[in-house]
Amino acid sequence: MKQSDIMNALRERIKEKKYKFTRQRQIILQAFLDSKENHMSAEDIFAMVKDENPDIGLATVYRSLELFTSLELLKKLDFGDGRSRYELNDRNLKHSHHHLICLGCGRVVEFSYDFLDGLKDKIEREDGFQIVDSQLKVYGYCRECQKKNSI
Ligand SMILES: [Zn+2]
Ligand SMILES: [Zn+2]
């Protein structure tokens, strides 16, 4: 999906819910599209936008992120380090992914494997549970941290 298509979809969703697609809101959403790191805290976003947009304060970023989460544009993630991260909701990106979280350096890597689809089928079949969404968090140590630890 092209960036402009994603932004259009986000704008439509905001208008659908009768909120204004303000310049500040667009800038904050654009930061998610621009960033390679898909899991950002309010502070990360603030650091990205503040130089070019001095009118956007940290409080505005917090409020916008909460709004976007309630509108399901973003997902709020908790990787257990006391700082909420946000990412674009997969529903807008048309793919589903899970997270590998390094306990050494805090790096978060995304992955999607098909075996989880098998698990999904099993849960739906055996527990009669209809799955709408799922997020798997796998904790451990990344390659770099393993190297560091073995020296
Ligand atoms: Zn690491
Ligand atoms: Zn992610």
pLDDT digits (tens, 9 = 90+) for 103-131: 999 888 888 766 677 888 889 899 999 88
Residues 44/37, Cβ–Cβ less than 8 Å: yes
**Which ligand gives the minimal distance to the CA of 77?**
2
Separation of 151 CA from ligand 1 center, angstroms? 15
* CATH number belonging to the domain at 1-94, selected among 3.40.50.720, 1.10.10.10, 1.10.1510.10, 3.10.310.10: 1.10.10.10
Pairing of strands 84-88, 137-140: unpaired
- Least Cα distance to 10 among 91, 77, 86 occurs for 91
The DSSP-derived string for 95-140 is: ---EEEEETTT--EEEE--THHHHHHHHHHHHS----S----EEEE
Kindly state the percentage of the chain with pLDDT values over 70: 93
Residue 94 confidence class, pLDDT cut points 50, 70, 90:
very low
pTM of this prediction exceeds 0.85 = no
- Note the Cα 50 to chain centre separation in Å: 20
State in Å: Cα 100 to ligand 1 middle: 10
Give the span between the Cα atoms of 65 and 30, in whole angstroms: 12
* SS3 of residue 148 by DSSP: helix
Please tell me the predicted confidence (pLDDT) of residue 118. Answer: 80
Ligand nearest to the CA of 100: 2
Q: How far is the CA of 33 from the centre of ligand 1 (A)?
A: 25
pLDDT value at 151 more than 70: no
Placement of tokens 């978060």 in the chain:
108
Q: Assess whether pLDDT exceeds 60 at residue 31.
A: yes
96-151 maps to CATH 3.30.1490.190: yes
- The rounded Å distance from CA 136 to ligand 2 centre is 10
- Distance (angstroms) between ligand 2 centre and the Cα of 151 equals 31
CA of 87 to the centre of ligand 2 (A): 6
Give 88: exposed, middle or buried? Use CB within 10 Å, 0-12, 13-18, 19+. middle
Q: Where are the domains of the chain?
A: 1-94, 96-151
pLDDT of residue 1: 72
Q: How many whole angstroms separate alpha carbon 135 and alpha carbon 78?
A: 11
84 pLDDT above the threshold of 60:
yes
pLDDT band with cut points at 50, 70 and 90 for residue 93? low
Q: Which residues are near ligand 2, the ion (C-beta closer than 5 Å)?
A: 87, 110
Give the 3-state secondary structure of residue 19: coil
* For range 35-54, the mean pLDDT: 91
Check residue 69 and give its pLDDT.
95
| Stretch 41-68: mean pLDDT | 96
